[in-house]
Structure 1
């Protein structure tokens, strides 16, 4: 089983990563970590380093990657959700583990939600970690 964990630097995304680490251990699956961004910055490298530390501590061999989408200016959460779905389709992931900020209906209506976009598509099994 191939498991994808998108991270954005938030605590909930790292809780999702911690959950996914235990999940792949239990089910002898393979873990892949991705950060979707419009540009790579020092903050991007910090996010990847935090993920590397957790993976190293768990003894998991995966190099977190950055998926660059230059069109994140409009409805960024929805675009990120679409990018995650594209990765699922292109690479054949079996499961996605994602954090969710728990934003309200108004926030979702204005900004969208990457997790909501992925779940709504029903293209892959998804575990949402608050």
Structure 2
């Protein structure tokens, strides 16, 4: 038996994690934290919002999930929903900085539970120039 190989760590050096407060996005954050602990991945969490009134709640959810296990960066992107979309803003960040992967929830905070993949996750998975891991 050979020594364990961490080849996958080169694929996941820098990970972007969109968090909207939904349980799927928090599970995606759990996975990213696990990669950070196992492989030393640098984690950047992004929250895109139009009014950003719930930022304290989002930060609290993030802190509770991470629980000082790893260091991370937090990006808050405020948008005018008439001029852009959440997926456009996430794609802008991905194209501006060299991320290796995106780990995100397959569905966000939409009310329709019959949908398996949300519009933001679909747009990111189709248009992102890097690997995308969708968490359900």
TM category (shorter chain) comes to: 0.7 to 0.9
* Partner Cα distance (2:72, 2:95) in 1: 20
5+ long unaligned stretches in structure 2 = 1-12, 108-112
Contact 2:24 2:135 in 1 (8 A): yes
The number of aligned residues is 119
String of CA shifts for 1:37-82, please: whole Å, max 9, x gaps.
01221x2210112102322332x12242311111x258x8xx2111
More helix by share: 1
TM-score (norm 1): 0.80
TM-align CA RMSD? 2.2
Q: Which runs of 5+ in 1 are unaligned?
A: none
Cα deviation 1:75-130 (Å, max 9, x = unaligned): x8xx211111110111111110000127538xx7xxx6111001111411110001
Query: Which residue of structure 1 aligns with residue 88 of structure 2?
Result: 82
Structure 1 or 2, whichever has the larger Rg, is: 2
